[in-house]
Structure 1
Amino acid sequence: MRTTMKTNAMTNTDLRISLLFQLFWVFVRIGPVTFGGGYAMIPMIEREISAKRKWLGEEEMDEILSLAGAAPGGVGVNAAAFIGYRLAGVKGAIAAIAGITIPTFIIVCLLSTVYSQLADQPKVIAAMKGIHGAVIALILVAAYRMAKNAIFDKTTAVTALVIPIVLLVSGINPIYVIAVGLIIGFVYMPIKQLLGLQVRTEKDSLNDSDEESNYPEYYI
C-alpha cells in the first residue's frame, strides 16, 4: 500500500511538473511571434488555451481576458498570470509569466539595438507600416471574439456602443470608464428585478445557444 501511495505521489508530481512546463512552453511560443502588444496576443492565447488544449472553456477565457484588460499592466502578461494561476496556482502563474516575458524581453533588446541603426531605412519604414496594419486586424479580431460573449442583451449592447464614443470625444481616463462598467454590472440587474423585467446573463445566453462544453480542471 505504501508503494502504491508513493507511486501515486510521484505520478501527481510528474503531472504538476508537466503542466508547469506546458504552461511555460505555450507562452514562450506566444510571446515572440505576436506583434502589437497584449491585445494582439489574445486570439493566439484563446486558440492555444481554449481551442487547442481545452484547458479552459470559452466563457471562462472571456472572463479572464476581461479581468486582464481591466487590471493594471499589460493585458498579455495579466492574461498569462490569470491563466497560469487558474490552472496551476502560484507556480503556474510564475511559469506562464516567465514564458511570456523572458523571450520577448530578449527580442525587444535585440530589436532596439538594430532599429536604432536602421530606423531611417525605407524598407524598415515600409515593414513597420505593414506590421501596424496587421496589428489593427489582430486587435479587431480579439474585440470581436470578446464581444460575442460579452454583449448578450440591450444593456451590454448600449454600454459597448456608448463607451467608445465617450472615450474618443472626452479623452477621459479609461480607469473611470472601467469603474462605470463595474457599477453598471452591479446595479442594472437588481433594478431590472425590482421593475419585474426579465434578467438575462451571459450564462443564460450560452445556455440558449446550447453551447455546452466539459473541460478538465487542473489544480496544484
Structure 2
Amino acid sequence: MLLLELFTTFLMIGFVSFGGGYAMIPVIESEVTVHGWMTTQQFTDVIAIAGMSPGPIATNCAIFVGFHTAGLPGAIISTVGMVLPSILIILIIAKFFFQFHENKYVKFAFYGLRPIITGLIAYSAIEFAISNDVIGELSWYTFSLVAIFGLSLFAVTKTKMHPILIILLSGVCGTILYS
C-alpha cells in the first residue's frame, strides 16, 4: 500500500509540476509533509543532499524520500512515478512539436507559465532559507549567511566565476566561520 501511495503521489507531482526541479520542490515538500513521510526539517536536509548530488534535483528528492520511507523499493517506485510523466509528455511533444511550436497560442501559454515558475522557485528559496535559519532574527550568524549569499551571487553574476568554485569557496568560508 505504501509503495502504491509513493508511486501515485510522485506520478501526480510529475504530471502537474512545470518549470524544472526547483519549481517542483514546494509541491514535493507539501506532499511529503502532508503524508507524514518526513518533517519539514528532514525534507530541507533532503533538498541540500539532492542539490549536491548529480542529476535533477526533483528526481533526487524522490529517490531520497522513497528510500527514507520504504527503502530501496520505495526509492525505485518514487523515481519511476516522478519520471514517467516526463517521459510520456516528451514523447507526445516530440511527435507534435514541430507542427505547433510557432502557434501564437502555444507561445502565449509558455509566456504565461514563466511568472508562476519563477514564483515557485523564489518560494522554494525563501522556504529553504527560513527553515535553515538563514532568514531569522538579526545576529552575527544571520549576517554572515547573508554575506556569503551576497558574495556568491556577486561572484556568479558579475565576475562570471564558475559555480563549482563558488560552492567550494562557500564551503571553506563556512568551515572557517562556523567551526
- Please give the residue correspondences for 1:1-220 in structure 2 after superposition, counting only pairs within 5 Å: 18-50=1-33, 52-150=34-132, 151=134, 153-190=142-179
Structure 1 segments, 4+ long, off by >4 Å, are none
1:137-166 CA distance string (max 9 Å, x none): 111111111111231522222112221221
Query: Following the alignment from structure 1 to structure 2, what is the Cα–Cα distance between the partners of residues 63 and 104?
Result: 25
1:30-73 CA distance string (max 9 Å, x none): 011111110110010010001x1121111111111111112211
3-state SS of 1:170 partner: coil
3-state SS of 1:113 partner: helix
Q: Which has the larger radius of gyration?
A: 1
2:170 partner amino acid? G
Give unmatched runs, 5+ long, in structure 1.
Answer: 1-17, 191-220
Give unmatched runs, 5+ long, in structure 2.
Answer: 136-141
Contact 1:24-1:95 within 8 A present in 2 as well: yes
Query: Following the alignment from structure 1 to structure 2, what is the Cα–Cα distance between the partners of residues 86 and 183?
Result: 30
Aligned length: 172
TM-score of the two chains, using structure 2 as the length reference: 0.89
1:117 partner amino acid? Q
Quick one: structure 1 residues 186 and 20, their matched pair in 2 at CA, closer, same or farther if it must change by over 3 Å? Answer: farther
What value does the CA root-mean-square deviation take over the aligned residues? 1.5
Quick one: percent identity of the two aligned structures? 28
Quick one: structure 1 residues 159 and 71, their matched pair in 2 at CA, closer, same or farther if it must change by over 3 Å? Answer: same
